Structure 1
């Protein structure tokens, strides 16, 4: 498999990925210091930064830096007055809404990251390495380990404790309705479909736009203000 084998089993591309993750981690730490404390984007950023820093203890993959880069590009777009992708737009629109809880922002950000950005990161990496999505399946699974750690942090750090998270609390239902494994499976299927459409650029573009819009709609629902 040539270059794709290096991506899966180590070698020069793995080192480049580690360097890129180091630069990405530095950028995310700088951003963490700049974001206001009471801010919906900051709520997601804190948990994502923790997962990104964990990459220093786990093997970096060809997908880590492109994935984080898409989130950071959305942050830059919003800061510059441009429209971020539809999947990120609700988080930026509602980032200061007092009725939206930190766990909602973190979960919506995680959904945007997996449902849209991870799909496109797989396609980007395939173009860069001139390989097929199947050659990156191991990389995809390793990124999933990081995302699992991120999800656990969302549920443990941002959701109230069991004594406060009542069965009648809407947040209980929100956290229980989202499943990481299903989201990852959908992202992988979408990446394979988008890659298969690469020779039909108009169809591929429409597919990507509709995916972005669909994930954005999900995120908007996740950010519905909840009663205290």
Structure 2
């Protein structure tokens, strides 16, 4: 689904934030989507603060990327609400969002995995097309957003992991959440973006590649949501 096809696609950064704040008030706090939404909202608000303070070299392009990126998550929510299938990367989270044996950190990481692993590359592509930019024009600010995300990931893990007295190095949960890396996911997203950009003159090949990435990210998400009790 392209952004032009999305119902009620957000047009501004404030709209994205407002939608996520509304979602936060509507969903039950222990719902898996609600847990991811809270994480994503805090990241988006942090990026918004940095847009104001001049942290980014091209704030207009970075803001547009944030809007297009957030719009893909909101479109997945809208698809589920309308009874349609969301992209494969999002299906595990929506299917297991109320599973009692899946822990909060698993929900958070599964949502981040879906959004970074698949949505980010497509948001980068549409931003380059929309602003008539080459990928290199976004790379610096892409890395600056990444610095924000890495710090936020550390905080998320600290908040949602059990305390040291409860953390067992032999616990499968410890191994599961330790196996996924935000930094590696972002590297893969950038590589996917560059590949899709290179394939822009071959739309059928690009679509097939995009579908395969979507399915692969969904598989990782399903593993992250393995019920562990």
TM-score clears 0.5: yes
Q: Residue 143 of structure 1 aligns to a residue in which SS?
A: helix
Q: Give runs of aligned pairs for residues 108-187 of structure 1, distance below 5 A.
A: 108-187=110-189
Measured on the aligned residues, the alpha-carbon RMSD in Å equals 1.3
SS of the aligned residue for 2:49 comes to: coil
Alignment partners' CA distance in 2, 1:77 and 1:217: 20
Q: Hey, what's the Cα distance between the residues in 2 that align with 1:73 and 1:142? A: 26
After TM superposition, what 4+ stretches of structure 1 lie above 3 angstroms from structure 2? Answer: none
User: Which residue does the alignment assign to 1:49?
Assistant: 41
Q: TM-score, normalized by length of structure 2?
A: 0.87
Contact 2:47 2:145 in 1 (8 A): no
How many residue pairs get aligned? The number is 209
Please tell me whether the aligned partners of residues 63 and 125 of structure 1 are also in contact (alpha carbons under 8 angstroms): yes
Q: Secondary structure at the match of 2:19?
A: helix
Unaligned runs of 5+ in 2: 1-10, 52-58
Q: What is the match of residue 4 of structure 2? A: none
Deviations 1:50-86 (A, max 9, x none): 1111123212513211111111111111111110110
Residue 212 (structure 2) aligns with:
210
Q: Normalised by the size of structure 1, how large is the TM-score?
A: 0.88
